[in-house]
């Protein structure tokens, strides 16, 4: 017997129905009844859809109106005081979004990334005197719903230690001390589920793949020992990495089953088999829950056979992690090139793969046809001319240190750049985009739909650029940008022009709450058939005597915001991207663009969960950036931009990127993020964002001066640039004008003191 199960399913619906209903509820356009009706319909549809693959257990509790970590906090009764004592959906949304139905503003809970995925969760807040009580019926109600349809539920609960690990504390105390008070609620949850006839509960403890402090590791023993008394079986689920040094310990925890991620960490299998007892269930995560490739089912079967030779307990098969991170259904992609479509699997197809695996084990003849299709997909993908570009492969193979090295060190480049650019002290600039007006969006959409000719489209974009340049000149900015009117999105714009990328029509993945992204798929060797940005930058430069800054998205960010091919290391794809961008950088320089900014907003996002693996990632990520940026002459100035980042633990790598100027987000943290640069004695120039472009507030000149004084004292006034936090595309021109006028004023005040 082989059991197949799923760890979690996307929530928003194939057509993002929940997103639209949530947003209409937030606008007050539909009531709670309508919202819960739509939600229940989505749940039911998704359960039927999962049942198509005859899963033995269907996950429940993975559905959420916003976020499963927030659901867990609410279930445990952990609602920060500022949200009052009322429970219910509106309090829940207030915690998530910071807005009340009555328009009263609240400080929303902080949001941050779920391990190394692009999903964001709401950070629980705990206090020393924190109390916990079972405060929500959601899980039990949904379990009963699922049972009502005749399916076997496997409730999914975020584990107590992972939940606590993710929590932030409002004062200085050891939050692990709270575990004794927290645990009884988990006991209540398990007992109540048992009372509903549930046999298995999946408890997610992904922190087991991190490098945990000893006290936290030890806590696992106590916690699971105590939960053992509940009359249900616990499947301890780990994912996103390997158990590492904790393998033998985790295998011996008093739980009935263990799930491991064999996609991200196939190498952990041997150690797990060495340590797991045969009275336990071992769940093998063989189907990639984080990427969209079809599984090599024959390879998976070989793994299973090998496991069976050594492990005589009960085997379960599953995706590596929740399918939250992939789109729902490949069948919706009717316009995809059929050859490539055959290589892909979304959530629904991944569950079908599980069914095929089981069939292959129980009734091999019946699975033959399916296995042949799967093998053929692997074969055609490996051999396809679509993914192999010998010239690109040769260029990557020929990479050597010299391509990643500017001719002269920064100190010398700096002199040459000063001579050429003749910028004042405290040069002012912006991060790239200017407001995307309805006219700009319409022109782009019409062009895409064929309603606007190419000539008319170019004309409209040039008008937008000319307007933007005039505005910047009037404001008195020193380094101008073209404004990015032609770009919908900083990844999509480049992906659409690079060979090796494809885009889906419905491949939405939840980023946070109702927000989704549609990541491009990098399926083949990446190359740049033609220049991507040069015409716009060149047009813009011709309109002004001020230096125009070219604007590119960096290789690491393109990589981290895409589904990446799994048939070569991520580093190889990063190098291909870097070489393609290097050509663009060269073309921009040749076209007379004196400054080129290469955005790496998602640089930090690629850090692996285990800190001990960071150096390997940072090494190739930095190298990729250097490859794309080092082909220019010393007098060409390279900028990079990073937002939403903490820098303290990666500052050496940031410095190693050797950009002449880095602009970062700092205003929200009152320049705290700058500390890392100060402590490290960061050698190159820095533009610490002086105002928060995400806030509707217009910054005051005094506040910006104060921030700059604070920065100048610490990093040296001669290294400082003055700029906003991030791009201005979501703002209105009126506000942008006022904010930038004040920013330029602040620069003048500082200059007058020199």
Q: How many CB atoms lie within 10 A of CB 336?
A: 18
In the complex, least distance from residue 639 CB atom to ligand GLN, rounded to whole angstroms: 10
List, as one string, the DSSP characters of 136-181: --HHHHHHHHHHHTTPPEEEEEE-HHHHHHH-EESSSS-GGGGHHH
Query: Among residue numbers 213 through 272, which ones bind ligand GLN (CB under 6 A)?
Result: none
Residue 201 interface partner, choices ligand GLN, Zn ion, none, CB cut-off 5-8 Å depending on type? none
Residue 160 interface partner, choices ligand GLN, Zn ion, none, CB cut-off 5-8 Å depending on type? none
Q: Which is nearer to ligand GLN, 261 or 484 (CB)?
A: 484
Check binding of 432 to ligand GLN (CB under 6 A): yes
Q: Which is nearer to ligand GLN, 301 or 548 (CB)?
A: 548
Check binding of 387 to ligand GLN (CB under 6 A): no
Task: Work out whether strand 111-113 and strand 120-122 pair parallel, antiparallel, or are unpaired.
Answer: antiparallel
Diameter of the chain by CA atoms? 84
Check binding of 641 to ligand GLN (CB under 6 A): yes
Backbone angles phi, psi at 493, to 5 degrees: -55, -40
Give whole-number Cα distances, 584 to 255, 315, 620, in Å. Answer: 55, 51, 20
Check binding of 643 to ligand GLN (CB under 6 A): yes
Residues with Cβ within 8 Å of 67's Cβ and at least 6 positions away in sequence, in order, are 96, 120, 121, 122, 512, 513
Residue 593 interface partner, choices ligand GLN, Zn ion, none, CB cut-off 5-8 Å depending on type? none
Q: Which of 76, 359, 601, 704 binds ligand GLN (CB under 6 A)?
A: 601
Check binding of 643 to Zn ion (CB under 5 A): yes
Tokens at residue 506, please?
A: 């419905």
Check binding of 729 to ligand GLN (CB under 6 A): yes
Angstrom distance (rounded) from CA 541 to CA 481: 9
Check binding of 60 to Zn ion (CB under 5 A): no
Q: Which residue is closest to ligand GLN by CB?
A: 727
Closest CA to 143 of 63, 220, 203: 63
Alpha helices in 323-431 (DSSP H): 338-341, 347-362, 364-383, 390-397, 410-421
* Rg of the chain on CA atoms, in Å: 27
Check binding of 554 to ligand GLN (CB under 6 A): no
Identified catalytic residue from 225, 506, 639, 694: 694
Give the N- to C-terminal CA distance of the chain in Å, as an integer.
79
Q: Is 723 annotated as a binding residue?
A: no
Q: Is 31 annotated as a binding residue?
A: no
Q: Which of 10, 257, 500, 727 binds ligand GLN (CB under 6 A)?
A: 727
Check binding of 552 to ligand GLN (CB under 6 A): no
Q: Which is nearer to Zn ion, 297 or 726 (CB)?
A: 726
Closest CA to 462 of 477, 440, 480: 440
Check binding of 377 to Zn ion (CB under 5 A): no
Q: At what angle do helices 614-629 and 570-590 cross, to 10 degrees?
A: 20
Check binding of 483 to ligand GLN (CB under 6 A): no
In the complex, least distance from residue 581 CB atom to ligand GLN, rounded to whole angstroms: 14
Check binding of 490 to ligand GLN (CB under 6 A): yes
Check binding of 317 to ligand GLN (CB under 6 A): no
List, as one string, the DSSP characters of 247-274: HHHHHTSS-SEEEEETTT-GGGHHHHHH
SS3 681: coil
Q: Which is nearer to ligand GLN, 551 or 595 (CB)?
A: 551
Check binding of 726 to Zn ion (CB under 5 A): yes
- 225: annotated active-site residue: no
The residues of the shown chain that bind Zn ion, judged by CB under 5 A, are 643, 726
Q: Which residues are annotated as a binding site for L-methionine?
A: 431-433, 484, 599
Residues labelled catalytic: 694
The residues of the shown chain that bind ligand GLN, judged by CB under 6 A, are 431-433, 484, 490, 551, 599, 601, 641, 643, 726-727, 729
């Amino acid at each position: 017997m082989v059991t197949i199960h799923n760890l979690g399913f996307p929530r928003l619906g194939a057509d993002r129905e929940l997103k639209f209903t949530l947003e209409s509820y937030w606008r007050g356009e539909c009531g709670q009844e309508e919202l819960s009706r739509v939600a229940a319909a989505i749940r039911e549809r998704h359960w039927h859809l999962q049942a198509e693959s005859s899963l033995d257990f269907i996950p429940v509790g993975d559905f959420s109106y916003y976020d499963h970590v927030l659901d867990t906090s609410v279930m445990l009764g952990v609602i920060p005081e500022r949200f009052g004592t009322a429970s219910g959906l509106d309090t829940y949304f207030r915690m998530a979004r910071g807005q009340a139905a009555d328009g009263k503003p609240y400080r929303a809970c902080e949001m941050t990334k779920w391990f190394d995925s692009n999903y964001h969760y709401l950070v629980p807040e705990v206090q020393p005197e924190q109390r916990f009580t079972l405060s929500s019926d959601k899980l039990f109600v949904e379990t009963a719903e699922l049972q009502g349809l005749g399916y076997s539920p496997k409730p999914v609960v975020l584990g107590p230690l992972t939940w606590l690990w993710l929590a932030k504390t409002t004062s200085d105390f050891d939050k692990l001390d709270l575990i004794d008070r927290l645990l009884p609620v988990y006991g209540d949850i398990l007992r109540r589920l048992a009372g509903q006839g549930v046999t298995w509960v999946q408890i997610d403890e992904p922190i087991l793949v991190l490098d945990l402090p000893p006290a936290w590791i030890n806590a696992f023993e106590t916690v699971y020992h105590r939960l053992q008394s509940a009359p249900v079986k616990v499947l301890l689920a780990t994912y996103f990495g390997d158990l590492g040094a904790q393998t033998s310990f985790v295998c011996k925890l008093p739980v009935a089953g263990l799930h491991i991620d064999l996609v991200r960490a196939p190498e952990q299998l041997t150690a797990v088999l060495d340590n797991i007892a045969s009275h336990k269930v071992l769940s093998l995560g063989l189907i990639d829950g984080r990427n969209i490739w079809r599984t090599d089912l024959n390879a998976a079967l070989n793994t299973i056979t090998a496991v069976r030779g050594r492990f005589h307990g009960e085997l379960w098969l599953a995706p590596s992690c929740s399918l939250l991170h992939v789109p729902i259904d490949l069948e919706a992609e009717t316009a995809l090139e059929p050859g490539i479509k055959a290589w892909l699997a979304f959530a629904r197809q991944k569950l079908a793969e599980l069914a095929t695996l089981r069939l292959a084990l129980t009734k091999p003849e019946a699975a033959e046809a399916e296995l042949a299709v799967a093998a053929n997909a692997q074969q055609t993908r490996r051999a396809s001319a679509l993914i192999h570009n010998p010239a690109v492969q040769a260029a990557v193979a020929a990479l050597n240190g010299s391509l990643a090295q500017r001719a002269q060190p920064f100190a010398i480049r700096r002199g040459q750049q000063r001579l050429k650019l003749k910028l004042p002290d405290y040069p002012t600039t912006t991060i790239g985009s200017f407001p995307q007006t309805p006219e700009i969006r319409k022109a782009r959409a019409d062009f895409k739909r064929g309603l606007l000719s190419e000539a008319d489209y170019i004309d409209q974009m040039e008008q937008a650029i000319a307007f933007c340049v005039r505005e910047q000149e009037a404001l008195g900015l020193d380094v101008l940008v073209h404004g990015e009117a032609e770009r919908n999105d900083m990844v999509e714009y480049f992906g659409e022009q690079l060979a090796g990328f494809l885009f889906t029509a419905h491949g939405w993945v939840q980023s946070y709450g109702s927000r989704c992204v549609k990541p491009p798929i990098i399926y083949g060797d990446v190359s740049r058939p033609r220049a991507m940005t040069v015409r716009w930058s060149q047009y813009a430069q011709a309109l002004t005597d001020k230096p125009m800054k070219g604007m590119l998205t960096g290789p690491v960010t393109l990589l981290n915001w895409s589904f990446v091919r799994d048939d070569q290391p991520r580093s190889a794809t990063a190098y291909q991207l870097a070489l393609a961008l290097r050509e663009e950088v060269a073309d921009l320089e040749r076209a007379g663009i004196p400054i080129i900014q290469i955005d790496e907003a998602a640089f930090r996002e690629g850090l692996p969960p285990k800190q001990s693996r960071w150096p390997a990632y940072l090494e190739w990520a930095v190298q990729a950036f250097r490859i794309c940026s080092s082909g220019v002459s010393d007098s060409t100035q390279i900028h990079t931009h990073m937002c939403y980042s903490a820098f303290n633990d990666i500052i050496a790598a940031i410095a190693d990127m050797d950009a002449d100027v880095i602009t970062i987000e700092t205003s929200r943290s009152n320049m705290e993020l700058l500390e890392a640069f100060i402590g490290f004695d960061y050698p190159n120039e820095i533009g610490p964002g002086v105002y928060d472009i995400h806030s509707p507030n217009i910054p005051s000149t005094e506040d910006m001066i104060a921030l700059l004084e604070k920065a100048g004292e610490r990093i040296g006034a001669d290294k400082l640039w003055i700029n906003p936090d991030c791009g201005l595309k979501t703002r209105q021109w009126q506000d942008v004008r006022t904010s930038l006028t004040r920013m330029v004023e602040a620069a003048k005040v500082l200059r007058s003191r020199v």
